[in-house]
Amino acid sequence: MDSTKKEGLPLIDPSKTELRHETAVASAMSNKGAHAALGYMVSAVLLILFNKAVLSSYSFPYANVITLFQMLCSCAFLYAMKRWKIISFTEGEPQSITGNPVTLVPLNTLFHTLPLAVSYLLYMLITMESVRGINVPMYTTLRRTTVAFTMIMEYLLTGRKHSSYVVGSVGIIILGAFVAGARDLSFDAYSYSIVFIANICTAVYLASIARIGKSSGLNSFGLMWCNGIICAPILLFWTSFSGDLEAMMSFPYLYSKGFQVVMFLSCIMAFLINYFVFLNTTLNSALTQTICGNLKDLFTIGLGWLLFGGLPFDLMNVVGQSLGFLGSGLYAYCKIRGK
């Protein structure tokens, strides 16, 4: 009798089973967050280069029209995938549920995302304009200061505070940006001002995603859809009123195959980057999203120098860039170590 009891199944500690389950879930989430960060960095590099090619190489003067095309393409992709039941707009929603037949989401949810859509429109318009009058290496250098604005906006909108390790790594990034730009011979006050305004808009936008995205019940696709159907009509009216759409018809390269391909690729990359921005910000944080933007700058700067030219070699610029990457690396280390 005793031997039978001893040979029975071993007892399982429920607490240990639950701990293993939570560890597996955390590991899966961290892997998903890493994939989101990597996807963002790849699409961001390509989007900057395609936008730069349209605005500079082809001298296309209508940045708002590019933004409009990107929004319309994004809405078309999302609508088709939603109707074909490939995606849903809310977490855990069956693909067959469409909500409002016109907006595809409830109207109260649409109104809830209105502040996010407004910040998105400003972010898109000013960011597009900021890349026009400045070379790619210096553009990415100045954009790196977005981390400071993001930390401030996160604290104001969500009350989030960061450790001294994170603040120190961000300080190194900002120092590197100022060192890199200290001897920029192509300095243009207007272009620099637009980039810094773009940084503020980016910080507000990312912090809004972290705040509104989680309270709206929408996933990344749903947030992208709400942004598109709110902002696209506004931008369509503005480009029509300003005469950009009519003037675009006389653009000399409008029917050039090369221009059309670059414009189409720009729209594809805009769709992908918006998805990864939402995914990365909701899975990780607004500041992590900004740091990912800094890490991808290495590839953007290298390709920008090769394809579009820009700054001549300067030791101060190299030191500044190196400090920026050092700060980004330290931030990544702090997040991995949980500091």
- Of 285, 267, 314, 330, give the one whose Cα is nearest residue 151: 285
Whether 72 has a pLDDT exceeding 90, the answer reads: yes
- At residue 167, the pLDDT reads 86
pTM check: above 0.75: no
Alpha-carbon span 68 to 228, nearest angstrom: 10
Q: Is 58 exposed, middle or buried (0-12, 13-18, 19+ CB in 10 A)?
A: middle
In the numeric block, the tokens 């931030």 are attached to: 331
What contacts 124, CB < 8 A, 6 or more positions away? 67, 70, 71, 231
- At residue 35, the pLDDT reads 77
Averaged pLDDT for residues 194-209: 84
What contacts 301, CB < 8 A, 6 or more positions away? 136, 137, 140, 141, 321
- When pLDDT is cut at 50, 70 and 90, the band that residue 61 belongs to is confident
What digits encode the pLDDT tens for the residues 111-167? 889 988 888 888 877 877 777 767 666 776 777 778 788 888 878 877 778 788 888
